[in-house]
Structure 1
Amino acid sequence: MTSPSLPVLDLSRLGGPDHSAFLAELREAARNVGFFYLVGHGVPAQLEADLWREARAFFALPEAEKLSVEMINSPHFRGYTRAGREITRGAPDWREQFDIHAERETLPQTPGAPPWTRLQGPNQWPAAQPALRPALLAWQAALTAVAIRLLSAFAEALEQPDDSFEEITRDRPNQAMKIIRYPGRAAGESDQGVGAHKDSGLLTLLVQDAVGGLQVQGENGWIDATPIPGAFVVNIGELLELASNGYLKATVHRVVSPPGGRDRLSIAFFLGARLDAEVPLLALPPHLAAEATGPTADPQNPLFRNVGENYLKGRLRSHTDVAERYYADLLAGAPA
């Protein structure tokens, strides 16, 4: 199956008679585009319907209720962010959103503890919407299973053992997700829903409503990721780029704001490695290694093999108000 914009891959072919063909298509899509649609994933439609219902209900809450769980209250970067308060490449994104991660305990801050240990902790949940928590956590669990299955397929596609990523995702992978609303922008205003960027984890799985706006950077310009009902938009992140020594490329993408009078909703799930892990360097076979030219060298976005360090880097840049309140010791003397 193909789309006018991005490849469409059917996960139900994995493990069947088309297994090898699926792996070849997966490798090609990730190598050449870095984005694809995923169908046949097996996630129940009702689970997605529940998710959309609660996402819309959250953004319809009174502002005071949303601000009661504002991210500035969380040193772990969890909670609500107003439009214009998250930064990408130095410019504000015009989107409001609610971030959660896995529900885990706060790590003790002993002398000499790595700074990334401050990232782990509980989520915030709005008291006015008790159904939000089970809906988001159920979606997080379902997409974690899909993403882990995809990671195994990626390992096979790179001619590695299918459990190559198990060590860095076992027990406590970095599970992050956000529900996002992009308000419409009037003519003449900036159309930066979210600025051009790469994702920092292993894999991202996105669902979006019928309003377009997601664009992927291709060789000849921006490619529209036109919404397909029931399909996930999948892209690889910086950690897979590092693990494959650049054979797989984390692709730059952005969201263009909808026109005035409309809004756009999307829900993104990000699977990353355990925060205490080091990204392995896969021993690719010679014919693949010859095409692995190393990870992208971007002085504005250095990549670190220590997962916690790599993830913390992005959080500090994106949420400067949280960074200034809880991480001021790290910002002193740091590069802009």
Structure 2
Amino acid sequence: MAPIPRSTPHTAFERLPLVDISGLFSDCAARRIQTAAALGQAAAQAGFLYVTGHGIDAQIIERLKQRTAEYFAQPLERKMHDYIGLSNNHSGYVPEGEEQFAEGSIDHKEAFDVGFDYLQTQGRQPMLGANRWPGLPGFKEDIKAYYDAVFSLSLTLFRGFALALGLPENAISQWVNHPPSQLRLIHYPFAKDAAVDRPGIGAHTDYECFTILLPTAPGLEVLNGAGQWIDVPLVDGAFVINIGDMLEVLSNGAYVATSHRVRKVAEERYAFPMFCACDYETVIEPIAQLVNPATPSRYGPVVCGEHLYAQTLQTFHYLKQRVARGELSLPAGAKALSSFGLVAKGEEACHAPS
């Protein structure tokens, strides 16, 4: 995650746009293109939007919520048996205080992280491998069912964004086969006596291409083009989609990542963000068809998985300890925290290391 931007190219929206994306599933190419245009317009105007017509079974969503509530209701000692630091692909339980971002604050939340669940022995990478699943009955089955459903939705959205950019439909999804895309099950406890300004999670943009978010209660706020924080209320049956740093780069700034935060929650809250990335070895740089003399490239290339790994190494306590002991090292040319997708922050675009 990157910290709050100073300015954005977005409109002074007061509510998020809503797009019915059912047309993206149509056999009619003209209808897919029409729906993609609406998706792209919302992304360009706000970087955040609601989508309906996504086709994910409501029962899959309800089982996700039920298993997550059961998991976090367990004693801390039991949850620590699944501690993320015991995994080899960065999956498992994340206690409060484990993550610390560039601004130095500690977010008031706990989480359980689920990866692609890459079961093959060949081709594994630091954030791509077999998940560490807890023994809670039904947890693996129901959480994986949701992961698979939302991953399929992500491929549809990748195709939609490509069409909206005037590209071939598979221009981006061709790079999404077994990516380090992460689903987070996040629990924001309600603490009546917590400080009013204590964040559930501080202001940031997301690293990946885009995020598919399912929240259970209010608390999310989004920064609009006028520099105002806008509440994001729940919309029945809708997901919240937001542009991340990598799609900003791939689109050469046609879409810009929007800063968002979770303030002190007024009730217990769960949130399920799916951070949608490209395959580990994908080079993230402006797509060639979007670069021309009128819109030159404003970003230098990074390798998708290496960038995500570098950011994670600099964020999670257990990994920072391993780096300090010399057991792990940052990938060559790794960027510091908060140094990617800089157009969203009103700064110069990032450049490849010399």
TM-score (norm 1): 0.85
Question: What's the CA shift string for 1:160-200, capped at 9, x where partnerless?
Answer: 1111013311x312221011111224253542111111111
- Residue 222 of structure 2 aligns with an amino acid whose one-letter code is V
Q: Give 1:294's aligned residue.
A: 298
**2:117 maps to 1:120:** no
CA apart distance, 1:54: 0.4
Q: Give 2:320's aligned residue.
A: 323
Question: What's the CA shift string for 1:174-227, capped at 9, x where partnerless?
Answer: 221011111224253542111111111122101111x21111111221111111
Q: Distance in 2 between matches of 1:165 and 1:310?
A: 18
Which of the residues 310, 313, 336 maps onto 1:313? 310
Contact 1:279 1:306 in 2 (8 A): yes
Q: Give 1:179's aligned residue.
A: 185
CA apart distance, 1:147: 0.8
Change over 3 Å in CA distance of 1:304–1:63 after alignment to 2: farther
**2:25 maps to 1:11:** no
Contact 1:105 1:121 in 2 (8 A): yes
Q: Distance in 1 between matches of 2:293 and 2:79?
A: 49
Residues paired across the two proteins, number: 315
Question: What's the CA shift string for 1:30-60, capped at 9, x where partnerless?
Answer: 1121110010000010110111110110111
Q: How does 1:1-336 map to 2 (within 5 A)?
A: 5-14=15-24, 15=26, 18-89=31-102, 90-105=104-119, 117-127=125-135, 129-169=136-176, 171-185=177-191, 186=193, 188=195, 190-209=197-216, 211-220=217-226, 221-259=228-266, 262-284=267-289, 290=294, 294-295=298-299, 304-325=301-322, 328=326, 329-330=328-329
Change over 3 Å in CA distance of 1:23–1:118 after alignment to 2: closer
Contact 1:192 1:255 in 2 (8 A): yes
Q: Give 1:299's aligned residue.
A: none
CA apart distance, 1:29: 1.2
Secondary structure at 2:181's aligned position in 1? strand
Contact 1:71 1:322 in 2 (8 A): no
Q: Distance in 2 between matches of 1:106 and 1:250?
A: 33
Contact 1:107 1:117 in 2 (8 A): no
Change over 3 Å in CA distance of 1:64–1:251 after alignment to 2: same
Q: Give 1:113's aligned residue.
A: none
Secondary structure at 2:255's aligned position in 1? coil
Higher strand share: 1
Structure 2, unaligned runs of 5 or more: 1-12, 338-354
- Residue 96 of structure 1 aligns with an amino acid whose one-letter code is E
Contact 1:105 1:120 in 2 (8 A): no
CA apart distance, 1:271: 1.5
Contact 2:118 2:128 in 1 (8 A): yes
CA apart distance, 1:257: 2.1
Deviates further, 4-13 or 90-99: 4-13
Q: Distance in 1 between matches of 2:82 and 2:221?
A: 30
Secondary structure at 2:283's aligned position in 1? coil
TM-score (norm 2): 0.81
Contact 1:5 1:223 in 2 (8 A): yes
Question: What's the CA shift string for 1:6-30, capped at 9, x where partnerless?
Answer: 0111011233565444222211211
Computed over aligned residues only, the root mean square deviation of the Cα atoms, in angstroms, reads 2.8
Secondary structure at 1:173's aligned position in 2? coil
Question: What's the CA shift string for 1:273-302, capped at 9, x where partnerless?
Answer: 11112125323468x98467735xxxxxxx
Q: Distance in 2 between matches of 1:202 and 1:145?
A: 15
Q: Distance in 2 between matches of 1:285 and 1:177?
A: 30
- Residue 304 of structure 2 aligns with an amino acid whose one-letter code is V
